[in-house]
Amino acid sequence: MSSPRAVALSGGVGGAKLALGLDRVLSPGELTVVANTGDDFEHLGLHISPDIDTLLYTLAARANLDTGWGRAGESWSFMSALAELGQPVWFRLGDKDLAAHVLRTHRLRQGSSLSQVTRELAGHYGLATAVLPMSDDVVRTRVRTDAGWLDFQNYFVEQQCSPAVHELCYVGADAANPAPGVTSALHARGLEVICICPSNPYLSIDPILAVAGIRCALEQAAAPIIAVSPIVGGRALKGPTARIMSELGHRNSVVSIALHYRDVIDGLVIDEVDRVYARSIEKLGIEVHVAQTIMKSLEDRCSLAAQVLEFAAQLRGPRKEQRSHVGVGTS
Amino acid sequence: MSSPRAVALSGGVGGAKLALGLDRVLSPGELTVVANTGDDFEHLGLHISPDIDTLLYTLAARANLDTGWGRAGESWSFMSALAELGQPVWFRLGDKDLAAHVLRTHRLRQGSSLSQVTRELAGHYGLATAVLPMSDDVVRTRVRTDAGWLDFQNYFVEQQCSPAVHELCYVGADAANPAPGVTSALHARGLEVICICPSNPYLSIDPILAVAGIRCALEQAAAPIIAVSPIVGGRALKGPTARIMSELGHRNSVVSIALHYRDVIDGLVIDEVDRVYARSIEKLGIEVHVAQTIMKSLEDRCSLAAQVLEFAAQLRGPRKEQRSHVGVGTS
Q: What residues in A contact B74, CB-CB < 8 Å? A: 77
pLDDT at A179 over 70: yes
- Helix, strand and coil percent figures for chain B, each rounded to 5: 40, 20, 40
What is the rounded CA–CA span in Å between residue B8 and residue A293?
A: 67
Q: What residues in A contact B99, CB-CB < 8 Å? A: 78, 81-82, 84-85, 87
Our CA-based measurement puts residue A115 at a distance from the nearest CA of chain B, in whole angstroms, of: 16
Mutation for testing the B interface, residue in A75, A91, A95 having most B CBs under 10 Å: A95
Residue A213 placed within a domain: yes
What is the rounded CA–CA span in Å between residue A124 and residue A265?
A: 34
HSE-up of A115 (CA within 13 Å, CB side)? 15
Concatenating the DSSP letter of every residue in A98-127 gives: HHHHHHHHHHHHHT--HHHHHHHHHHHTT-
Q: Find all residues with CB under 8 Å of A129, minimum gap 6, and list them.
A: A19, A23, A28, A29, A31, A32, A33, A59, A122
> pLDDT band at A68, cuts 50/70/90?
confident
Give the model's pLDDT for residue B73.
Answer: 94
Q: Which of B87, B102, B121 sits opposite A46 (nearest CB)?
A: B102
Listed ranges A62-71, B105-114, B146-155; the one with the highest mean pLDDT: B105-114
| Chain B residue at shortest CA distance from A118 | B85
Contact between chains at A99 and B82 (C-beta distance less than 8 A): yes
CATH number at residue A110: 3.40.50.10680
What is the rounded CA–CA span in Å between residue B289 and residue A234?
A: 83
Burial of B90 (0-12, 13-18, 19+ CB in 10 A): exposed
Question: What is the interface pTM, i.e. ipTM, of the complex?
Answer: 0.90
Q: Is A142 helix (H, G, I), strand (E, B) or coil?
A: strand
Residue A90 placed within a domain: no
Axis crossing angle, helix A97-110 with helix B77-84, rounded to the nearest 10: 60
> pLDDT band at A65, cuts 50/70/90?
confident
Residue A42 placed within a domain: yes
Least Cα distance to A293 among A312, A318, A276, A268 occurs for A268
Q: What residue numbers bound the domain in which A250 lies? A: 6-63+99-316
Q: How many residues does chain A have?
A: 331
Least Cα distance to B275 among B230, B310, B233 occurs for B233
Contact between chains at A95 and B74 (C-beta distance less than 8 A): no
pLDDT at A9 over 70: yes
Give the model's pLDDT for residue B322.
Answer: 45
Residue A327 placed within a domain: no
pLDDT at A319 over 60: no
Contact between chains at A81 and B75 (C-beta distance less than 8 A): no
CB B16 within 8 Å of CB B228: no
Query: pLDDT, tens digit, for every residue of A182-234?
Result: 999 999 999 999 999 999 999 999 999 999 999 999 999 999 999 999 999 98
Our CA-based measurement puts residue B185 at a distance from the nearest CA of chain A, in whole angstroms, of: 26
Give the model's pLDDT for residue A304.
Answer: 98
Q: Which of A44, A80, A95 sits opposite B103 (nearest CB)?
A: A44
| Chain B residue at shortest CA distance from A87 | B103
pLDDT at B291 over 90: yes
Taking residues B99-113, what's their average pLDDT? Answer: 98
Contact between chains at B81 and A99 (C-beta distance less than 8 A): yes
pLDDT at B320 over 90: no
Taking residues A89-99, what's their average pLDDT? Answer: 95
Strands, DSSP E only, in chain B? Answer: 6-10, 31-35, 41-43, 46-48, 130-133, 140-145, 148-151, 165-171, 193-196, 225-228, 231-232, 235-236, 267-271, 287-291
| Chain B residue at shortest CA distance from A82 | B99
Give the model's pLDDT for residue B239.
Answer: 81
Give the model's pLDDT for residue B318.
Answer: 53
CB A209 within 8 Å of CB A216: no
More confident residue, A239 or A214: A214
| Furthest C-alpha separation in chain B | 62
Q: What residues in B contact A75, CB-CB < 8 Å? A: 75, 77, 95
Give the model's pLDDT for residue A331.
Answer: 35
Please give the tally of structural domains in chain B: 1
What is the rounded CA–CA span in Å between residue A40 and residue A152?
A: 9
CB B252 within 8 Å of CB B227: no
Taking residues A149-158, what's their average pLDDT? Answer: 91
CB B136 within 8 Å of CB B107: no
pLDDT at A180 over 60: yes
More confident residue, A247 or B1: A247
CB B6 within 8 Å of CB B192: yes
Q: What is the mean pLDDT of chain A?
A: 93
Our CA-based measurement puts residue A109 at a distance from the nearest CA of chain B, in whole angstroms, of: 8
What is the rounded CA–CA span in Å between residue B7 and residue B150?
A: 31
Contact between chains at A75 and B75 (C-beta distance less than 8 A): yes
Q: What residues in B contact A78, CB-CB < 8 Å? A: 78, 95-96, 98-99, 102
Contact between chains at B102 and A71 (C-beta distance less than 8 A): no
Residue A259 placed within a domain: yes
pTM, rounded to two decimals: 0.92
Give the model's pLDDT for residue A328.
Answer: 43
Give the model's pLDDT for residue A66.
Answer: 82
Our CA-based measurement puts residue A215 at a distance from the nearest CA of chain B, in whole angstroms, of: 33
Taking residues B308-318, what's their average pLDDT? Answer: 89
Q: Is B198 helix (H, G, I), strand (E, B) or coil?
A: coil
Residue B328 placed within a domain: no
What is the rounded CA–CA span in Å between residue B323 and residue B316?
A: 14
Taking residues A53-58, what's their average pLDDT? Answer: 97
pLDDT at A330 over 50: no
Q: What is the mean pLDDT of chain B?
A: 93
> pLDDT band at B236, cuts 50/70/90?
confident
Q: Is B5 helix (H, G, I), strand (E, B) or coil?
A: coil
More confident residue, A296 or B329: A296
Contact between chains at A45 and B106 (C-beta distance less than 8 A): yes
Query: pLDDT, tens digit, for every residue of B179-219?
Result: 999 999 999 999 999 999 999 999 999 999 999 999 999 99
Give the model's pLDDT for residue B325.
Answer: 42
Taking residues A61-74, what's their average pLDDT? Answer: 89
Contact between chains at B99 and A121 (C-beta distance less than 8 A): no
Residue A14 placed within a domain: yes
What is the rounded CA–CA span in Å between residue A5 and residue A193?
A: 7
Residue A304 placed within a domain: yes
Contact between chains at A94 and B85 (C-beta distance less than 8 A): no
> pLDDT band at A317, cuts 50/70/90?
low
Which residues on chain B place their C-beta less than 8 Å from a C-beta of chain A? Answer: 44-46, 71, 74-75, 77-78, 80-82, 84-87, 94-100, 102-103, 105-106, 109-110, 121, 124-125
Least Cα distance to A103 among B84, B100, B49, B157 occurs for B84
Contact between chains at B98 and A98 (C-beta distance less than 8 A): yes
Q: Is B271 helix (H, G, I), strand (E, B) or coil?
A: strand
Our CA-based measurement puts residue A196 at a distance from the nearest CA of chain B, in whole angstroms, of: 29
pLDDT at B93 over 60: yes
Our CA-based measurement puts residue A141 at a distance from the nearest CA of chain B, in whole angstroms, of: 23
HSE-up of A225 (CA within 13 Å, CB side)? 25
Burial of A190 (0-12, 13-18, 19+ CB in 10 A): exposed
Contact between chains at B102 and A77 (C-beta distance less than 8 A): no
Contact between chains at A81 and B97 (C-beta distance less than 8 A): yes
- Alpha carbon B6 to chain centroid, angstroms: 15
> pLDDT band at A318, cuts 50/70/90?
low
Our CA-based measurement puts residue B21 at a distance from the nearest CA of chain A, in whole angstroms, of: 24
